[in-house]
Amino acid sequence: MFHDYFSYIASAAVSSENTVMKYLFVLLLIIPLEVRAGPVWPTRSFLVQPTWDGHADTTSLFGHGGYWAQVQRGFGSDSARWAWDITMGAIFEFARWNGDKSLFGFSGMELTADLNDAIDFRPRGAFWHEGLVYAAKESSDFEWQVGTIYTCRHDIDNGDPGQYSDVFGERTLIYGSLSGKAIWTSDRLLGLAVPTVAWLHGDLYYLGEDYRLPRSDEHLGTDFQAIEWSFGEAFQSKLANWNASSLYLMVFTDFTAFGRDTNFFGRFSHIAKVTFDGHAELGFEFHGVAGRMQVYAGWEHWEDDGAVPIPRNAQFLLAGIRITGTDLIRF
């Protein structure tokens, strides 16, 4: 019954797939570049979703797996807090059946470091990111997924005196959500031969914590104890293709709503503000049978990156290299 309900909703989306792709792309083009705060997703620059093998009427247990690893250099972030960004993780599929349904989990981390030591690499914080997801393929054009995602952030070397708010300032974030995605795939974009995967993503938060030291900094700026929901869209397009490589564009957006109160029911009664975050990158992709490598440059902005007790902006240019598997990460 659960799957039938979502299949019914999906049927309308499948029938108008080309129109949906156009609307998503145009909306992304008109989104303003002045962006604001929201949850940091370590998987924001790629899509975690099975690559379906087309083997129907089969059931497999632990038959598929995936991975990602990324090293990124940021330029121009406030106090160089995002000068280095290292991300890695693994994806493990518990079961796949009928060739178009999957239950998988993933776990990853993201480490940020600034330049304020002798080797220009001082770790400042780490995000941990875990999820359990049910995914389904409705047709060659449309897929969806639902699940739960848990993320937390902790300081590293927070005993240094060079903090923004007194000595030994700290900030810890914890947020968990019920999450979903609707995913469209097309060989054309706006009439051009540009293979594109586009998706809408939404999260409803059942958990939000924002611990700060000194305590006098609590509730200043964005407060994750009042986080309500997130919604956004993303796409990745292959602008040019060769035998084993491509030129691609990837854009991720996220709107996040925060309530007025910090208690569980109170924060859903009012919306105090809706913020917006963005990530964009242009790069070259080289692929083989078991994996792919992406070399890219781009831009990112966070009004509150969760790194310091008094929330601060982080807007910067970036360049990096990413290695991913080809099984459970779509491209």
301-330 CB burial, b ≥16 within 10 A, e <16: bbbbbbbbbebbebbbebebebebbebbbb
3-state secondary structure of 288: coil
**pLDDT, tens digit, for every residue of 172-204?**
999 999 999 999 999 988 888 999 999 999 999
214-253: per-residue pLDDT in tens? 877 777 778 899 999 999 999 999 999 999 999 999 999 9
Residue 162 has pLDDT above 90, yes or no: no
Confidence of residue 8 (pLDDT cuts 50, 70, 90): very low
Determine the pLDDT at residue 68. Answer: 97
Q: Which residue do the tokens 């220009």 mark?
A: 120
**What are phi and psi for residue 225, nearest 5 degrees?**
-70, -15
Q: What is the pLDDT of residue 3?
A: 52
Determine how many CB atoms are found less than 10 A away from the CB of residue 153.
23
**What domain count does the chain have?**
1
Sign of CA dihedral 46, 294, 312, 108: positive
Is 241 in a helix, a strand, or coil?
Answer: strand
pLDDT bin (cut points 50, 70, 90) of residue 29 is very low
For residue 125, give the nearest of 42, 36, 53, 183 by alpha carbon.
42
CATH of the domain at 262: 2.40.160.40
Instruction: Write the pLDDT tens digit of every residue in 300-320.
Output: 988 788 788 887 878 899 999
Q: What is the pTM of this model?
A: 0.84
For residues 262-269, average pLDDT:
80
Average pLDDT of the chain to the nearest whole number: 84
Question: What is the span of the domain harbouring residue 260?
Answer: 2-330
